[in-house]
Amino acid sequence: MRPLPIDTPLAAPLDRLQRPLHDLRVSVTDRCNFRCTYCMPKELFGPDFAFLPRDQVLSFEEIERIARVFVELGAEKIRITGGEPLVRRDLPVLIEMLAALRRLDGEPLDLTLTTNGSGLRRLADPLRAAGLQRVTVSLDSLDDATFAAMNGVDFPVAKVVDGIAAAREAGFAPIKVNMVVRRGLNESSILPMARWARDTGVILRFIEYMDVGHTNGWRLDDVVPADEIVARIDAEMPIEPLGSQYRGEVANRWRYRDGAGEVGLIASVSQPFCGDCTRARLSAEGKLYTCLFSADGHDLRAIVRGDATDADLQEAIARVWRVRSDRYSELRTAATADLPRVEMYAIGG
Ligand code: SAM
């Protein structure tokens, strides 16, 4: 392990692998209206499932306070996630509070949100007006039967596509679409999704199916490696690699050689990118996770609900970040699949 640099200032701390704290992902709810088989399978998340009681979920004021302290520590990007973030009541109010924060250099934050798209027809305008800059919509297929088999609630493709249209009408651009690819389930949707994204001008990002949590029964055989996805697309619509825009960018970007836009590959299984991971995650109940594959989080809710000052909170977060050494995906083996891990619906990816 490399030693800590002696002169690391409190603001902008580096972790043990010299990674700065750049992004914060905030899960605003553990609830979701979908039951994706790879995330919240309905057999386990049925009507009796005990989601967090309301008083255990961070209030907007608590989220804003924690986010502000992260920004004071150098975070420049905040992604709102869940569960399904659009099921949290009055979400635009939180967006407005976060949009008012300023980075250390005085610039607005990069404020974005990941959603299943089901609520965008209703909420795209208010979210945009509140100051949200970008949206990423998850959509795993354009085929209703395949999509239903993945979302677990027979949710129609057309409604998500309409949500994407609503986001565009509200002025969000560019719009990204995330597609989790699972062997044998939606592989046949790779090319139709790529063609549709090219035609509609959204940026499609293929995500390798990951072993987050334990409820999805993940097996390495279920993963379609990014190289294979690239080869399939390239055979029909030639693509070439693009460089990354900034340190910590999760997607490997490729552009169509004919100039018709780009696609991204999030290859966290076959090409792990822990060395550049600058992300912290805050769960709906206020736990800070330093890795998507962590077993435990650090309880920030207890701090904000106690009599701690903002300086105490800043010190607590900086202390967690400075000793961070997580690089789960680089160490992944068959044996690590059994280690305890937080579930994806709790921290939102
Ligand atoms: N409900 C929102 C949504 O659907 O985008 C936000 C939360 S969801 C957990 C965030 C992203 O994680 C989605 O794009 C989802 O497809 C992805 N995801 C969930 N489980 C996954 C897994 N096991 N492997 C890869 N991606 C996963």
Decide: 97 in ligand 1 pocket, CB within 6 A. Answer: no
Q: From CA 120, how far away is CA 159, in angstroms rounded?
A: 9
Residue 266 CA to ligand 1 center (angstroms) comes to 12
Query: What residue's CA is closest to ligand 1, atom 1?
Result: 84
**pLDDT per residue over 242-284, tens digit each?**
987 777 778 999 999 999 999 999 998 999 888 889 999 999 9
| Through-space distance between the first and last CA atoms of the chain, rounded to whole angstroms | 27
| Top-ranked range on mean pLDDT: pick from 3-12, 143-152, 329-338 | 143-152
Distance set, CA 263 to CA 30, 127, 195, 248, 256 (Å): 29, 26, 11, 17, 8
Alpha helices, DSSP H only, in the chain? 60-72, 91-99, 120-130, 144-151, 157-169, 190-200, 226-236, 300-304, 310-322, 328-331, 344-347
* Mean pLDDT (the chain, rounded): 93
Strands 252-256 and 239-241: antiparallel
Q: For 100-125, what is the mean pLDDT? A: 98
- What's the angle, vertex CA 32, arms to CA 183 and CA 320, rounded to 5? 85
Per-residue pLDDT at 5: 46
Q: Say if ligand 1 is within 6 A of residue 151 CB.
A: no
- Write the pLDDT tens digit of every residue in 159-178: 999 999 999 999 999 999 99
Residue whose token pair is 């035609």: 199
Atom of ligand 1 nearest to the CA of 82: 7
Beta-strand relationship, 203-208 and 252-256: unpaired
For a pocket test of ligand 1, which of 223, 344, 345, 347 has the largest count of ligand atoms closer than 8 A to its C-beta? 344
Instruction: For residue 336, name the pLDDT band (cuts at 50, 70, 90).
Output: confident
Eight-state DSSP code of residue 179: E
Query: Taking the complete model, does pTM exceed 0.85, yes or no?
Result: yes
pLDDT in tens, 116-164: 999 999 999 999 999 999 999 999 999 999 999 999 999 999 999 999 9
Span from the CA of 306 to the centroid of ligand 1 (angstroms): 33
* Average pLDDT of the residues in 238-244: 91
Among the listed residues 56, 57, 33, 35, the one whose alpha carbon sits nearest the alpha carbon of residue 45: 35
Tell me which of 162-171, 187-196, 202-211, 321-330 is least confident. Answer: 321-330
Residue 179 C-alpha to ligand 1 middle, in angstroms?
A: 9
3-state secondary structure of 37: coil
Q: Which amino acid would we find at residue 89?
A: R
Indicate the top mutation candidate among 178, 208, 211, 343 to test ligand 1's pocket, ranked by most ligand atoms within 8 A of CB: 178
Q: Which ligand 1 atom sits closest to the C-alpha of 344? A: 9
